[in-house]
Amino acid sequence: MRILIVNPNTTASMTVTIEAAARRVAGDSTVIEAVTSSMGPASIEGYYDEALAVPGLLKEISQGEREGADAAIIACFDDTGLDAARAMSSIPVIGICEAALATVSFIAQRFTVVTTTQRSRVPIEALVRRYGAEGRAKVRAADIPVLSLEDPLSGATEKLRAQMASALEEDGAEAIVLGCAGMADLAARLQDEFGVPVVDGVGAAVKQAEALVALGLSTSKRGAYAFPAPKVYTGLLAGFGIG
Amino acid sequence: MRILIVNPNTTASMTVTIEAAARRVAGDSTVIEAVTSSMGPASIEGYYDEALAVPGLLKEISQGEREGADAAIIACFDDTGLDAARAMSSIPVIGICEAALATVSFIAQRFTVVTTTQRSRVPIEALVRRYGAEGRAKVRAADIPVLSLEDPLSGATEKLRAQMASALEEDGAEAIVLGCAGMADLAARLQDEFGVPVVDGVGAAVKQAEALVALGLSTSKRGAYAFPAPKVYTGLLAGFGIG
Amino acid sequence: MRILIVNPNTTASMTVTIEAAARRVAGDSTVIEAVTSSMGPASIEGYYDEALAVPGLLKEISQGEREGADAAIIACFDDTGLDAARAMSSIPVIGICEAALATVSFIAQRFTVVTTTQRSRVPIEALVRRYGAEGRAKVRAADIPVLSLEDPLSGATEKLRAQMASALEEDGAEAIVLGCAGMADLAARLQDEFGVPVVDGVGAAVKQAEALVALGLSTSKRGAYAFPAPKVYTGLLAGFGIG
Amino acid sequence: MRILIVNPNTTASMTVTIEAAARRVAGDSTVIEAVTSSMGPASIEGYYDEALAVPGLLKEISQGEREGADAAIIACFDDTGLDAARAMSSIPVIGICEAALATVSFIAQRFTVVTTTQRSRVPIEALVRRYGAEGRAKVRAADIPVLSLEDPLSGATEKLRAQMASALEEDGAEAIVLGCAGMADLAARLQDEFGVPVVDGVGAAVKQAEALVALGLSTSKRGAYAFPAPKVYTGLLAGFGIG
Amino acid sequence: MRILIVNPNTTASMTVTIEAAARRVAGDSTVIEAVTSSMGPASIEGYYDEALAVPGLLKEISQGEREGADAAIIACFDDTGLDAARAMSSIPVIGICEAALATVSFIAQRFTVVTTTQRSRVPIEALVRRYGAEGRAKVRAADIPVLSLEDPLSGATEKLRAQMASALEEDGAEAIVLGCAGMADLAARLQDEFGVPVVDGVGAAVKQAEALVALGLSTSKRGAYAFPAPKVYTGLLAGFGIG
Amino acid sequence: MRILIVNPNTTASMTVTIEAAARRVAGDSTVIEAVTSSMGPASIEGYYDEALAVPGLLKEISQGEREGADAAIIACFDDTGLDAARAMSSIPVIGICEAALATVSFIAQRFTVVTTTQRSRVPIEALVRRYGAEGRAKVRAADIPVLSLEDPLSGATEKLRAQMASALEEDGAEAIVLGCAGMADLAARLQDEFGVPVVDGVGAAVKQAEALVALGLSTSKRGAYAFPAPKVYTGLLAGFGIG
């Protein structure tokens, strides 16, 4: 089983973190292929970055599917481009936010998502509502730029810890969801420290992708995710091979 | 007052229809500038087309703002790219779906949106929920390709009429919302025929844009729509001038 | 275009404030006619005052329509009597709460309504839910009597400012809605002071009324807003001319 | 224990029906006092009638309280004037819609309200949502004028039966709620005929009123139902004695 | 009229408290029969205790119905076993949480439930949602074991008072609901102390049971509460007499 | 990895079906241990059967955990006893309804659950709401007793197919969820026949259980799922070893 993980920002070092987290939890017969988008923002912080990340992301998923991937994962907690990718693909496509929320729902009644920037808080609250976790989940931002997670001197992890502590004390959280792909390497350590389940979306998405493939399930092609109708696509985006 | 209307698909003849509908309702001192995106799908039918229309759309809005537009309208009923455009801009940005839903809510308690294709039904249902009209609105698809609206021999208008009739009879609709920018020229005629209010999103959005400008209001730059953080944007998308 | 604005309380000095705010934003060809109800409470603070304001309000709207008004506005943030007025009228009728919520929704994802008294907080929360802004909006009361807004020595504006500051800090508000018609003159100044959009319902309602008239739209007479059935109305209320 | 029941329309024959239904279920020590409003519409069908019924209704409740009533019931299924009456009174005030929905919720998971006219359907759907029964309840209109219920030759009861049958077959209803005070005499007979629970709001409200009095509970005077602030009420409404 | 009240925990002293509270509010012609379950946990604190209390509870209700009870009450605020009991019985069955929420809804727009342990908070929040009071109610836990309510030296009542005070100050509560059957004797005293309505579920349920019996209403046997289908029940649970 | 699957009804032949379905999708290193409850109903159809199945179910999960299971699955689509089992256990516990809904949500926007009896429809609708799929899912009953699924001559599968066809045509379903553990062997065949994804909860739960174990996640012991407090459990249920 080959699972493609696309880091939809263009920062290759973050892809390394993501790939390592994915491999730690992947099954023995699963091949993880992590790629960095070649087109778009260096990090995804808010609606604008989300939008600009989509074409590069779709290109990678389209190519990965042609090269034989059995499932694809979008490794950004905003689940950017998810619906478009599903409509375009025959293989299952998983977002790390939806995977994390589905996973934490099996082990906690109340939980808090801790993400990076305030720009991302409201979009993630919209995802919480979309995925039906409204009333169970709160979203907090640690006020840290995404890329600061890669800099041990930035204090980012300490700010993340502070929000986790507040989540437990003030939100009644029973578990924590890490709300950024760049936090994928921290889950196990923070789970040990805080003594509550800590869910990383990258790992969660790998297991959901494996599950769908093993169950013989893929995106329905009836209704909202039907293949795009044939039509002319103009400009630089035309090269995806579907239009 | 200058209002930019972007047709985010690449079909210039549809822009003509949109521009005419906008001018019919614009105030005396309003200048309507309608542009056709140069990049993306020929029509927007579903998630994939939506996603591929965004970069071209953002480019037009960004350029329009630099050239002095006071407000911008996204003339696609999926409100594609709306949040990204708002985050990027200082001027107000209006989607035609949100404008239509806001407008019809002043004149009817129950209404039905009639859109083109089944691929668009579920995305519009999500917008209905996002904009708080859940429980008041139903969404129907007339099963007509968007561009067939331009062909008088396609039978598209008849299929639209049939869905309107069903909406009144089966849904208890008190008003109809036309769920595609390409239907903008039909509202007045259908309102006369059916004897209930028929709302076109293009016209509605023009008035909302005029309203915001007159009220001295623009997108909040605090929170979800804060300007994007400075960062590197790689590839062909880099030319937008913000990153 | 003639727009009737009814102040449903009996305090004429508040009508002056309302009328001025309306004229500031009205289009060149719009005639604003503001009237004070002759029957009812001196200010509307809570459910009881709302109910007693309705007959006088309906009388003014009924008379205004007969005299040629193209649209009517109910200038009380509780939107009192709105549904009854719509059922009774051929012309569009707009409440200032619904107009303010519709308007702010185009420019902010999260916002706070600041109203006058605690008696009004829960009724406005019900309107927030009715108009579909639940989850986006919070409501705060500044604990000031409505009429104290007219007394510069009352400290009312300072209490309002304090709640606005708390809204930004504690609620994550991206914009503020002024939750009383008597605050209509404060919006521009407070917007400048706080650096976030501040929406006044009176101005918002004027633009919505203009929009509906320009779009050729009026209240649907099918369903919930059908004209009242002919019947006997007994007592002093019988003089409205419909029953 | 004295329970005041106000028929807020001016049709005294309907008060007779209501009073009889109330007495059938009242406890031995309960005195039922039913009064007909002297001011307002002959029947309440939709928003306009609702609004015009309120002053006469409030007057009766205010007088009843002064004369020693322990609780008051508003015998119109739209629960018109309920919040104003509560704010004005020290005694508990019950609406027959809220009483019926509370009662049926103890004996069925899914139910249908059958009301009279289409004008009343949407207002009752709003009450269903307000009282938290959304998702459990459907509302149907039998398309019968309220007063036709008093005319055995009108065919009204047959139309009501037809909607009940459809509710059981199409809605999955497990119980029926009669959605008009004028149907209060039909509940027992229809329950026998259809073999499912049939709830009448008048009877239900009597028992809720008795319950509150027995439990020593009355409307909270903290928050939304605080007594109205002292102020000037102008015009014919001024005689209620509170302002 | 005979009303059976089952204390589904095995602590007989708590049944004494419950029975006294029930008798204080019961009608003259009502016979209260309170029984203690013989099987299950000594107190019900959270999901596990709830589940283990159900068989003993069902056994008592089944026996009570055979012996002529007209209605049954489950005297645990988690409403444990309620749906099963309804499906099994011909007589009405009432939970004290649903009775309390229905009752408080007639007298307050916003209220807070104060329960015992954190383990019970989330289950009660789920009941609040089930019964449609979401948005009106908050739930607080006083962090007191259920049985400590019986020990005057435990400080339990003081902790309860502290949460009530916080509910009024921080939650905007207009009334308080006591969230444990073991608090049934405290309602009147706390109502006097705090000057807001305080609702006890045991008393509320007695009045709801009396109401249903007087109204001639019982659980619908159509749909979700249809009698169980005949089948084999194995093991010690088989003795209930239905299977 | 050892996964315990408990069939909470007492019909061993259904356990055979369940176990086979589980093994078909389990990973190479997963050991599936399926057990039949020794106490409770022969099939679970509605609330009463659900309740009576819980003690036997908890006993099996408790024993399985002591014997080294890494995760447990409750193989009844009502997810009966799920919360109690989680509170009692250190290992993850998964319900097949929640697993099926989580799984189908990755591949379809709209779907229909087809279950067996009308008694189960409303309880499953409550689960749909609990798990946040309200608005995406419909529930249909094929009106077949659970055990008829084991009898090829019963016509049960044909009735199931008829409901699936209606779901696609009338509900706009993009995928089907089989709403009974006894249908676990039918998923692959029906998926081929109907050309849309068909999700079986048993298989889905196996993959979710594997996922949680691989991710190092288990039920949070903070909050709602904290271990039960030590106390006396009386009667035959006392033998579970926790109380």
CA–CA separation, D125 and F139 (whole Å): 23
Q: Which residues of chain C have a CB within 8 Å of the CB of A122?
A: 109-110
The answer to whether residues F177 and F114 touch, using CB atoms and an 8 Å cutoff, is yes
Mean pLDDT over each residue of chain A, to the nearest integer: 95
Q: With the C-alpha atoms ordered A105, A121, A194, F223, is the resulting torsion angle positive or negative?
A: negative
In the structure encoding, which two tokens stand for residue B220, read together? 């909040």
Of C174, C196, C211, nearest to B208 by CB-CB distance is C211
Query: Of B1, B98, B107, B213, which to mutate for an interface test with C (greatest number of C Cβ within 10 Å)?
Result: B107
Q: Do F135 and B122 touch (CB under 8 A)?
A: no
Q: Where are the alpha helices (DSSP H) in chain C?
A: 12-25, 47-66, 82-88, 96-104, 118-130, 156-170, 187-194, 201-214
Q: Do A122 and C110 touch (CB under 8 A)?
A: yes
Q: Which residues of chain B have a CB within 8 Å of the CB of A38?
A: 234-235
Q: Do F237 and E39 touch (CB under 8 A)?
A: yes
In the structure encoding, which two tokens stand for residue A118, read together? 């305030």
Which residues of chain A are at the E interface, by a Cβ-Cβ cutoff of 8 Å?
Answer: 109-110, 135, 172
Of A107, A131, A219, nearest to F107 by CB-CB distance is A219
CA–CA separation, F127 and F96 (whole Å): 11
Maximum CA extent, chain A: 54
CA–CA separation, B206 and B208 (whole Å): 6
Task: Give the distance from CA E192 to its chain's centroid.
Answer: 23
Amino acid at site A112: T
Q: What's the whole-number mean pLDDT along residues C119-140?
A: 97
The answer to whether residues E242 and E228 touch, using CB atoms and an 8 Å cutoff, is yes
Q: Do F229 and E119 touch (CB under 8 A)?
A: yes
Query: What domains can you pick out in chain B, each with its CATH number?
Result: 2-96+203-240 (3.40.50.12500), 98-200 (3.40.50.12500)
B236: pLDDT strictly greater than 80: no
Of A41, A121, A243, nearest to B41 by CB-CB distance is A243
In the structure encoding, which two tokens stand for residue C44, read together? 């509307």
Q: Of the candidates D209, D131, D136, which has an alpha carbon nearest to the alpha carbon of residue E211?
A: D209
Q: Which residues of chain C have a CB within 8 Å of the CB of B107?
A: 86, 92, 212, 217-220, 225
Count of pairs with CB atoms under 8 A, one residue in B, one in C: 149
Q: Which residues of chain F have a CB within 8 Å of the CB of A214?
A: 25, 27, 207
The answer to whether residues A191 and A173 touch, using CB atoms and an 8 Å cutoff, is no
Task: Give the distance from CA B135 to its chain's centroid.
Answer: 22
pLDDT at residue A237, rounded to an integer: 61
Q: Which residues of chain D have a CB within 8 Å of the CB of E170?
A: none
Return the half-sphere exposure (C-beta side, CA atoms, 13 A cut-off) of residue F126. 20
| Helix or strand run (H / E) with residue F25 | helix F12-25
Residue-by-residue DSSP string for B124-152? HHHHHHHTT-TTTEEEEE----GGGGG-T
Q: Of the candidates B116, B121, B109, which has an alpha carbon nearest to the alpha carbon of residue B171?
A: B109
The confidence band for A222, taking pLDDT boundaries of 50, 70 and 90, is: very high
CA–CA separation, D200 and D184 (whole Å): 6
Amino acid at site A52: L
Of B55, B117, B126, nearest to A55 by CB-CB distance is B55
In the structure encoding, which two tokens stand for residue B193, read together? 């025929």
Residue A38 pairs in a beta bridge with none
Radius of gyration (C-alpha) of chain C in whole angstroms = 17
pLDDT at residue A235, rounded to an integer: 81
Residues 6+ apart with CB under 8 A from E93: E61, E71, E72, E73, E74, E82, E85, E86, E219
The answer to whether residues D112 and D177 touch, using CB atoms and an 8 Å cutoff, is yes
- Calculate ∠ Cα D102-D107-D112, nearest 5°: 70
A239: pLDDT strictly greater than 60: no
Q: Do D236 and C236 touch (CB under 8 A)?
A: yes
F113 to F73, F104, F137: CA distances (angstroms): 19, 10, 7
Residue-by-residue DSSP string for E172-218? --SEEEE-SGGGTTSHHHHHHHHSS-EEEHHHHHHHHHHHHHHTT--
Q: Which chain F residue has its CA at the smallest distance from D173's CA?
A: F122
Instruction: Cite the beta strand spans of chain D per DSSP E.
Output: 2-7, 31-36, 40-41, 71-74, 93-95, 111-115, 137-141, 175-178, 198-200, 233-234
The confidence band for D235, taking pLDDT boundaries of 50, 70 and 90, is: confident
Radius of gyration (C-alpha) of chain D in whole angstroms = 17
In the structure encoding, which two tokens stand for residue E166, read together? 């916080």
The confidence band for D236, taking pLDDT boundaries of 50, 70 and 90, is: low
Q: Which chain E residue has its CA at the smallest distance from C123's CA?
A: E109
Distance from first CA to last CA of chain C, Å, rounded?
Answer: 28
The answer to whether residues B85 and B219 touch, using CB atoms and an 8 Å cutoff, is no
Q: Tell me the pLDDT of chain F (243 aa) as tens digits.
A: 999 999 999 999 999 999 999 999 999 999 999 999 999 999 999 999 999 999 999 999 999 999 999 999 999 999 999 999 999 999 999 999 999 999 999 999 999 999 999 999 999 999 999 999 999 999 999 999 999 999 999 999 999 999 999 999 999 999 999 999 999 999 999 999 999 999 999 999 999 999 999 999 999 999 999 999 999 998 866 545 443
Of B122, B129, B134, nearest to F110 by CB-CB distance is B122
Residue-by-residue DSSP string for B83-113? HHHHHH-SS-EEEHHHHHHHHHTTT-SSEEE
Q: Do C122 and E110 touch (CB under 8 A)?
A: yes
Q: Do A122 and C135 touch (CB under 8 A)?
A: no
Name chain C's partners: 3 or more CB pairs within 8 A: A, B, D, E
Q: Do A197 and F218 touch (CB under 8 A)?
A: yes
Q: Which chain A residue has its CA at the smallest distance from B125's CA?
A: A224
Q: Do C47 and D84 touch (CB under 8 A)?
A: yes
pLDDT at residue C237, rounded to an integer: 61
Q: Do C233 and D52 touch (CB under 8 A)?
A: yes
Q: Do E48 and F236 touch (CB under 8 A)?
A: no
The answer to whether residues A19 and A5 touch, using CB atoms and an 8 Å cutoff, is yes
Q: Which of A221-225, A235-239, C67-71 has the lowest mean pLDDT?
A: A235-239
Closest approach of chain B CAs to the CA of F133, in angstroms?
Answer: 13
pLDDT at residue E237, rounded to an integer: 60
A207 to A36, A72, A94, A202, F143: CA distances (angstroms): 21, 12, 10, 9, 35
CA–CA separation, B78 and D240 (whole Å): 53
D239: pLDDT strictly greater than 90: no
In the structure encoding, which two tokens stand for residue D150, read together? 């008093």
Name chain D's partners: 3 or more CB pairs within 8 A: B, C, E, F
Q: Which chain A residue has its CA at the smallest distance from C110's CA?
A: A122
pLDDT at residue E241, rounded to an integer: 47
Q: Do B52 and A58 touch (CB under 8 A)?
A: yes
pLDDT at residue C243, rounded to an integer: 38
D38 to C58, C67, C232, D11, D66: CA distances (angstroms): 20, 31, 12, 9, 18
Chains A and D touch (3+ CB pairs under 8 A): no
B117: pLDDT strictly greater than 50: yes
| Helix or strand run (H / E) with residue D11 | none
Query: Of B30, B103, B106, B111, which to mutate for an interface test with C (greatest number of C Cβ within 10 Å)?
Result: B106
Angle between helices B96-104 and B201-215 (to 10 degrees): 90
Q: Which chain F residue has its CA at the smallest distance from D136's CA?
A: F122
The confidence band for A119, taking pLDDT boundaries of 50, 70 and 90, is: very high
Could you tell me what percent of chain A has a pLDDT over 90? 95
Which residues of chain D are at the F interface, by a Cβ-Cβ cutoff of 8 Å?
Answer: 109-110, 135, 172
Q: What's the whole-number mean pLDDT along residues A137-164?
A: 96
Q: Which residues of chain E have a CB within 8 Å of the CB of C130?
A: none
Mean pLDDT over each residue of chain D, to the nearest integer: 95
Q: Which residues of chain E have a CB within 8 Å of the CB of A109?
A: 122
CA–CA separation, C116 and B118 (whole Å): 47
Name chain B's partners: 3 or more CB pairs within 8 A: A, C, D, F
CA–CA separation, C56 and D234 (whole Å): 10
- Sheet hosting strand F93-95, strand order edge to edge: F31-36, F2-7, F71-74, F93-95
Query: What pLDDT, in 10s, does the model give residues A92-107?
Result: 999 999 999 999 999 9
C123 to C7, C52, C126, C140, E76: CA distances (angstroms): 18, 15, 5, 12, 33
Which residues of chain B are at the D interface, by a Cβ-Cβ cutoff of 8 Å?
Answer: 109-110, 135, 172
Buried b (16+ CB within 10 A) or exposed e, E148-165: bbbeeeeebbebbbebbe
Q: Do A224 and B122 touch (CB under 8 A)?
A: yes
Q: Which residue has the tokens 């502590």?
A: A165
In the structure encoding, which two tokens stand for residue A144, read together? 């840290």
3-class SS of residue C172: coil
Q: Where are the alpha helices (DSSP H) in chain A?
A: 12-25, 47-66, 82-88, 96-104, 118-130, 156-170, 187-194, 201-214
Name chain E's partners: 3 or more CB pairs within 8 A: A, C, D, F
Chains C and D touch (3+ CB pairs under 8 A): yes
Q: Do D109 and F129 touch (CB under 8 A)?
A: no
In the structure encoding, which two tokens stand for residue D149, read together? 């219920």
Query: Of D231, D236, D242, which to mutate for an interface test with C (greatest number of C Cβ within 10 Å)?
Result: D231
E239: pLDDT strictly greater than 60: no
Q: Do C43 and D231 touch (CB under 8 A)?
A: yes
Q: Do F109 and B122 touch (CB under 8 A)?
A: yes
Q: Do A107 and F27 touch (CB under 8 A)?
A: no
Query: What pLDDT, in 10s, does the model give residues D6-19?
Result: 999 999 999 999 99
CA–CA separation, D113 and E97 (whole Å): 25
